[in-house]
Amino acid sequence: MKSSAITLKNGLLFILLTCSFSLFSQEGPLKVGAARVDVSALAQATIVPSSGKYAHENLFVRAIVLDNGATRAALVSIDGNIRSDYGKISGLISKELDCPVENILLSSTHSHSAGLSASDENAIMEAVRKARAALKPALAGYGAGKAWLNVNRDAIDKETRKWTQAANPEGPSDKTVAVLLFTDLQGNPIAGYMNYAMHPVNGYVTGIRSADFPGAACRHIEQSFGDAMVMMFTQGASGDQNPLWLRPGTNVIASRTSTEITGYEMTREIIESPLRDYQIAQRRGLSLEGMTEPGPPSAETVDVLNRWIDALGMILGEEAIRVMSGIRDFQGNVKISGARKIITMPGRVNTNKEGEFKGEPGVFENGPDVNVGIGVLGIGDIALANISAEIYNVFAQKIKAASPLSKTVFVTLTNGGSNSGYIVDDASYRKNTFQVLGNKIQPGHAEVEIVDSIVKLIEEYVAN
């Protein structure tokens, strides 16, 4: 592989020279180690104290280290969003494992109620070191199932007839639960790597601390195996995907503003709007006059929400376990190789910022170019395609359909941030949802360039 100069700009790791897969294309006997480290102490104080009854109330960083004798790789995921400098962390892991930065995937579960507020650098490195120390001969397998828990969230409001955030069962939505399973030579699980496209927003602005359904699912699986293995969750293309059912969390939000809870499902965006606007104004130092100051939620609604998150995690976890149980095609001798690149696309700016959450059309002018990091990490006949941003579901469907490898997983929110906002497919630019209106890429570029570039990286991995 050509040597790569590394720099950091806007929180995004830039690989300044084109990467090639060639040097590390040789196969070798696989070794795998895994670890998890509790990072709950790094979370900010919440309005609602943790009950101590639910595993999803705790936050973890998880690491899986792979070694095939020719090179190493690291898969890292954290409940919430990574708070450390991606470029620095990638460099530290690269040095620790003596592997290329292209072989490192740092991913966030994006749980909106995790509330991490301090750097997680030390915890990430601790998890990586523990995983490396646990390396043992291993096998790698892949399987996929389905979970009907997510739904497209770009919808037309029945009353206002404007675009809003609500369940749209007719919109694009991939139900795939993809799982990589790493076992020892006797078939005992060492680690799993799960991918599903659904926003973890159940606890958003509710005042609780929770790893949401990703954390609940991981802990359900880990505890099912007596904590003898590590399960990692990563986000699929979930930019336009929410949980189908949001009533438990919506009721908690309603109780914070003394809104009547009727028992029927209420539109989440309408109920959360006063709290969201209050938090944005508070964060920006704007006037709070005339705004509703939120109070604490009722204990009854909080307990229902906690039980609901636990239930979602169990359902998703059980589907992952079902998939794991059926995997038969394991590899013990694998190629490990990664590549990253930056895509630059022309930008735009919406000058009607006040209308972004109101379904109003945007008013756009040319803006700075947008840089988006993409990559592929190949593990045998498995491709972990990845991107640094939040992106619409259609992208994943098109990438997987065009990939030369049937075992292709699309991982988002990986290896840095992006100045893109949500990345939307061409057909969605007509929608006046907050994701589309906040998108900073001019129409006609993202879908073709991102899909084609990622598929090309997979093709290069297969060819080398």
Q: DSSP per residue over 232-247, as a string?
A: EEEE-S-TTEEES--H
Q: How many CA atoms lie within 13 A of 222 on its CB side?
A: 22
> Among all chains, which residue has been given the structure tokens 């006949």?
381
Nearest residue to 332 (alpha-carbon basis) of 179, 135, 182 = 182
d(CA 149, CA 234): 16
Q: Which residues pair with residue 333 across a beta bridge?
A: 29
d(CA 163, CA 235): 25
What is the structure's pLDDT at 24? 52
Residue 309, classed as helix, strand or coil, is helix
Sheet of 407-411: strand order equals 27-29, 333-350, 364-379, 382-387, 407-411
Per-residue pLDDT reduced to its tens digit, 408-458: 999 999 998 888 999 999 999 999 999 999 999 999 999 999 999 999 999
> Among all chains, which residue has been given the structure tokens 């022309």?
346
Taking the CB of residue 118, how many other CB atoms lie within 10 A of it?
A: 14
| Confidence bin at 284 (pLDDT 50/70/90) | confident
184 has a pLDDT exceeding 80: yes
348 has a pLDDT exceeding 70: yes
289 has a pLDDT exceeding 90: no
* The length of the chain, given as a count of residues: 464
Residue 444, classed as helix, strand or coil, is coil
Q: Which residues pair with residue 379 across a beta bridge?
A: 336, 382
Per-residue pLDDT reduced to its tens digit, 219-262: 999 999 999 999 999 999 999 999 999 999 999 999 998 899 99
Taking the CB of residue 96, how many other CB atoms lie within 10 A of it?
A: 15
- Per the prediction, the chain carries an average pLDDT of 92
Q: Which residues pair with residue 49 across a beta bridge?
A: none
Taking the CB of residue 187, how many other CB atoms lie within 10 A of it?
A: 9
What is the structure's pLDDT at 19? 52
Per-residue pLDDT reduced to its tens digit, 9-32: 333 433 333 455 544 568 999 999
Q: CA 265: distance to chain centroid?
A: 27
Task: Copy the structure tokens of residue 436.
Answer: 């589309």
Per-residue pLDDT reduced to its tens digit, 116-152: 999 999 999 999 999 999 999 999 999 999 999 999 9
CA angle 251/149/83 to nearest 5° reads: 75
354 versus 160: the higher-pLDDT residue is 160
Q: Exposed, middle or buried, 365 (CB in 10 Å: 0-12/13-18/19+)? A: exposed
Q: CA 168: distance to chain centroid?
A: 21
What is the structure's pLDDT at 356? 81
What is the structure's pLDDT at 25? 66
Per-residue pLDDT reduced to its tens digit, 385-407: 999 999 999 999 999 999 999 99
Backbone angles phi, psi at 92, to 5 degrees: -65, -45
